[in-house]
Amino acid sequence: MARITASVYTSHVPAIGAALDLGKSGEDYWKPVFAGYDFGKEWIKEQKPDVIFLVYNDHATAFSLDLIPTFALGTGASFTPADEGWGPRPVPMVHGHPELAAHIAQSVIQDDFDLTLVNKMEVDHGLTVPLSLMFGQPEAWPCKVIPFAVNVVQYPVPSGRRCFQIGQAIRKAVESFDEDLNVQIWGTGGMSHQLQGPRAGLINREWDNRFLDRLIADPADLSTMPHIDYVREAGSEGIELVMWLIARGAMADVAGGAQPTVKQRFYHVPASNTAVGHLILENN
């Protein structure tokens, strides 16, 4: 059977992608950011996941005010890196896993979560920057990636509770797929940041670190936090953090299994206009 072996959490700051693409990752400003991912890069080489179920948000790239799916599952065979205004990032094509994605669609929708299915979609920095952080700059991504796009851009956004519940349904779906696959689930976006308005530049270290503590130790309690608390404390774009609850909800302990092991925890300020957070939890 397919198994969810670990969850990875990371910010997706576009300037991190640009720093890599433009050969600036060795500069003094960026060195401490990339150093936080040295462990994860080695760890994932040993883990060799077959598939990453990558929870991220689109930033008005594939979707727009014309069409606003709350939860969009990428069921296609491949997904092209998008041009976000400076040409597409020089990163490999993303290859999906249509069979597993179709199985997840069947299971999660029959579990009463109304997903949007997307067979064709371009993917923006929300998806490609986390891949770059964990895999560096390979010729091809070393595994399949199922994109799962969550609307955290246009209100109303889904609640943390809903995200935590859908994570549990995704776990059930993956672990009932009849093929031996090592599957990781990633939660991306965050941490505290606000990109516009009078509070642009807002960063809240204390709140971010408390969020990491609670995500590790008591995600069910964290999932009850209302969206307005994210926005007030972590800035308007801090709401991206609800996506981390999807990955956390898919871990074994939430379904009555053992507590995960914290393999990596990293926090750094600043990276462009935001705080960077990164966590790796491994199932036991």
**Per-residue mark of binding to ligand DHB, 39-78 (x: CB under 6 A):** --------------------x-------------------
Q: Which of 2, 14, 203, 283 binds ligand DHB (CB under 6 A)?
A: 14
Contact 230, 190 (CB under 8 A): no
Min dist. Cβ of residue 259 to ligand DHB (A) = 29
Report the half-sphere exposure of 83 (CA within 13 A, side-chain side).
3
Q: Does 277 bind ligand DHB (CB under 6 A)?
A: no
Size of the site for ligand DHB (CB under 6 A): 13
Contact 172, 227 (CB under 8 A): no
DSSP one-letter code for 251: S
Q: Does 209 bind ligand DHB (CB under 6 A)?
A: no
Q: Does 248 bind ligand DHB (CB under 6 A)?
A: no
CA dihedral (175, 176, 182, 184) positive or negative? negative
Min dist. Cβ of residue 269 to ligand DHB (A) = 13
Cα–Cα dist 263/283, whole Å:
10
Q: Does 274 bind ligand DHB (CB under 6 A)?
A: yes
DSSP string, 136-193: -S-SS-SSEEEEEEE--SSSSPPPHHHHHHHHHHHHHHHTT-SS--EEEEEEE--SS-
Strand partners, 95: 78
DSSP string, 104-145: HHHHHHHTT--PEEESS-EE-HHHHHHHHHHH-S-SS-SSEE
Cα–Cα dist 257/201, whole Å:
40
C-beta of 127 vs 169, nearer to ligand DHB: 127
Min dist. Cβ of residue 231 to ligand DHB (A) = 14
Min dist. Cβ of residue 197 to ligand DHB (A) = 14
Q: Rule CB under 6 A: which of 227-246 touch ligand DHB? A: 237, 240
C-beta of 209 vs 272, nearer to ligand DHB: 272
Cα–Cα dist 88/91, whole Å:
8
Which among 193, 227, 268, 278 is annotated as catalytic?
193
Q: Does 269 bind ligand DHB (CB under 6 A)?
A: no
Q: Please say if 125 is a catalytic residue.
A: yes
Q: Does 89 bind ligand DHB (CB under 6 A)?
A: no
**Per-residue mark of binding to ligand DHB, 167-196 (x: CB under 6 A):** ----------------------x---x-x-
- In the numeric block, the tokens 């308007």 are attached to 236
Cα–Cα dist 182/204, whole Å:
35
Q: Does 278 bind ligand DHB (CB under 6 A)?
A: no
Residues assigned a catalytic role: 125, 193
**Residues lying near ligand DHB in the complex (CB under 6 A):** 12-15, 59, 189, 193, 195, 237, 240, 272-274
